[in-house]
Amino acid sequence: MTEEKHSPGQQKKSEHEIAKSFDSISCGLCIYRIEGERLFPLFRNRAFYDIMGFSEENLLRLDHETQYLNIHPEDLENLKQKIGCLLQSGGAMEDTYRLWNDKRQEYH
């Protein structure tokens, strides 16, 4: 949406409707914004938190620390390299890596 076409109130309402739609998706979903060489989370749906099994401590950390939280140490460098390439050249990326699930006390 552009500022010229939508007032802040209309944009906020649209963002709320989009978030509501994404929250109804049963698979984990994260949306990030890229600025330069950094990623910023814009949205995570409820299924994301359920699938990841984050503890309350992790949920609080997510608001302040989002980079590579709970990723298996053996998978971390490869993921960082792929994301680095993505940030430099743009495009899309797909990867598989293990994440620690606090509730189940295991990697998935």
pLDDT along the chain (108 residues), means of 10: 62 80 81 73 79 74 66 91 84 84 85
Domain-located, residue 2: no
Domain-located, residue 26: yes
CA distance 75 to 84: 14
Q: What pLDDT is recorded for position 66?
A: 58
Domain-located, residue 40: yes
Q: What pLDDT is recorded for position 1?
A: 41
Domain-located, residue 95: yes
CA distance 23 to 106: 25
Domain that holds residue 87: 8-107
Does this model's pTM top 0.85? My answer is no
In the chain, how many domains are there? 1
